[in-house]
Homo-oligomer: A and B are copies of this chain.
């Protein structure tokens, strides 16, 4: 899927990754267009003085600074966007005059750069990555609040419906929210093998903080000047990494059918003395029939590899279904279908090909999500005391804990759990809250608990 590049933290995305990205993009882009989002492209560069305008925001990012053009110094240093709030909002201020200019809804698909120094990891933490960033402006907080959740639901669908990765919707703590924003919602995944949470995508309500900074106001129906309300939201190529970690097994990738660039690989199995031409013909016919039905099928007709070698290779690549056609299948007018997710094999009549493949693909999509959900759920541990918290953390659990919701307490938990594996922090406060009996106290401070929050180590 990727190739390491000669600059640390930069990776080459190969077709197997890019085709997944394109499939996700197709879904998401058509959904946001229904919400009247418009495509924009803003420049890669931002002048340093604009960047400095929003101190809080900037502390969250350390942008790269471009200083030379060829051999000569630039008039003024410029920075590469780590995100585009400071690129876009001076223009929002210019474009928005009246309530008739609202809502303003911009989205762009682009690359951004964050020169992370800690543990670059393909997809998960890279210095350059691809994303979409939506930036919207409303007259009222109600509209902004509503959109935050509409977008969050689309992010949930990307993870659960497409990538078959279970996620929790929730709200970030004050410490973990987007720098400079009002509040941040996110979808959070969890990787059982490593016992770490991972932020899947974020949908921020920026409130009026950026509006103040960049002077974005409008004249309302009564002729009064008001400050706008803003959101920004993004998901990145990281989503592919979360999917890989969730479903991968000893044999390699396992791709959910909805995002698999190839859903069915057809492999001829020409035993000695068999009619190889007829077998190849049957394989080509199967691919053709499936393609005509809108199923992404391909043929591996390479003659310099054995069927067994091909099986392993396509398993490694995670293709959901393998069809084998040998002399016996040909004679019986059937094909053998092997599932990648659980290895089960079934012989089906060639006449039922499309129908059966559809059923199997749907089944794999459902099974991957259910399996991942069962594994994730088995990791959730509800705790109530500090000792239980530490034990659960050491057991790589996704910890649901009653919390007083105080920033100082979160800082304290971070400090007390510092270590080689990284500190524990809040992942989110899930919208789906268990009952919180009155008198419940915070696991860390002993103060009255305000809410249940997910805690753990994270990527």
Binding site for B on A (CB under 8 A): 3, 5-7, 10-15, 18-19, 21-22, 38-45, 47, 50, 62-70, 77-78, 80, 90-91, 94-95, 100, 110-111, 113, 115, 128, 130, 302, 304
**Contact assessment for B3 and A44 in the assembled complex, using a CB-CB cutoff below 8 Å:** no
Closest 8 pairs between A and B when the two form their complex, measured CB to CB:
A62-B70, A15-B38, A18-B39, A65-B68, A13-B41, A10-B43, A69-B115, A67-B67
**Contact assessment for B67 and A11 in the assembled complex, using a CB-CB cutoff below 8 Å:** no
Contacts of A7 in B (CB 8 A): 43, 45, 47, 78
**Contact assessment for A12 and B66 in the assembled complex, using a CB-CB cutoff below 8 Å:** no
Contacts of A45 in B (CB 8 A): 7, 10, 128
| Given A6-B90, A12-B41, A18-B41, 18 more pairs with CB closer than 8 A | A3-B91, A3-B95, A5-B43, A7-B43, A10-B45, A12-B91, A14-B40, A18-B38, A19-B39, A43-B128, A44-B128, A65-B66, A65-B70, A66-B67, A66-B80, A70-B115, A80-B80, A111-B111
- Name A40's contact: one of B13, B66, B68, B113 (CB within 8 Å): B13
Contacts of A113 in B (CB 8 A): 44
Minimum distance in angstroms from A296 CB to a CB of chain B = 12
**Contact A44 to B13, CB < 8 A, known contacts A65-B70, A68-B64, A68-B65:** no
Minimum distance in angstroms from A299 CB to a CB of chain B = 14
How far is it, in angstroms, between the C-alpha of A24 and the C-alpha of B18 when the chains are bound? Answer: 20
Closest to A67 in B: B67
Minimum distance in angstroms from A111 CB to a CB of chain B = 6
Minimum distance in angstroms from A103 CB to a CB of chain B = 14
How far is it, in angstroms, between the C-alpha of A95 and the C-alpha of B7 when the chains are bound? Answer: 18
**Contact assessment for B78 and A69 in the assembled complex, using a CB-CB cutoff below 8 Å:** no
Contacts of A63 in B (CB 8 A): 70
Contacts of A40 in B (CB 8 A): 12-15, 18
Contacts of A69 in B (CB 8 A): 62, 64-65, 115
Contacts of A78 in B (CB 8 A): 7
Contacts of A80 in B (CB 8 A): 66, 80
Contacts of A3 in B (CB 8 A): 91, 94-95
Minimum distance in angstroms from A106 CB to a CB of chain B = 8
How far is it, in angstroms, between the C-alpha of A110 and the C-alpha of B111 when the chains are bound? Answer: 8
Pairs across A and B, CB under 8 Å, 23 listed? A3-B94, A5-B43, A6-B90, A7-B43, A7-B47, A7-B78, A10-B43, A10-B44, A12-B42, A13-B41, A15-B39, A18-B41, A19-B38, A43-B128, A63-B70, A65-B68, A65-B70, A66-B67, A66-B80, A67-B68, A68-B77, A100-B302, A100-B304
Minimum distance in angstroms from A151 CB to a CB of chain B = 19
**Contact assessment for A43 and B12 in the assembled complex, using a CB-CB cutoff below 8 Å:** yes
Closest to A41 in B: B13
How far is it, in angstroms, between the C-alpha of A406 and the C-alpha of B21 when the chains are bound? Answer: 48
How far is it, in angstroms, between the C-alpha of A302 and the C-alpha of B101 when the chains are bound? Answer: 12
Contacts of A110 in B (CB 8 A): 111
**Contact assessment for A44 and B111 in the assembled complex, using a CB-CB cutoff below 8 Å:** yes
Minimum distance in angstroms from A414 CB to a CB of chain B = 23
How far is it, in angstroms, between the C-alpha of A15 and the C-alpha of B95 when the chains are bound? Answer: 13
* Residue with the highest number of chain B CB atoms closer than 10 Å, among A40, A69, A78, A111: A69
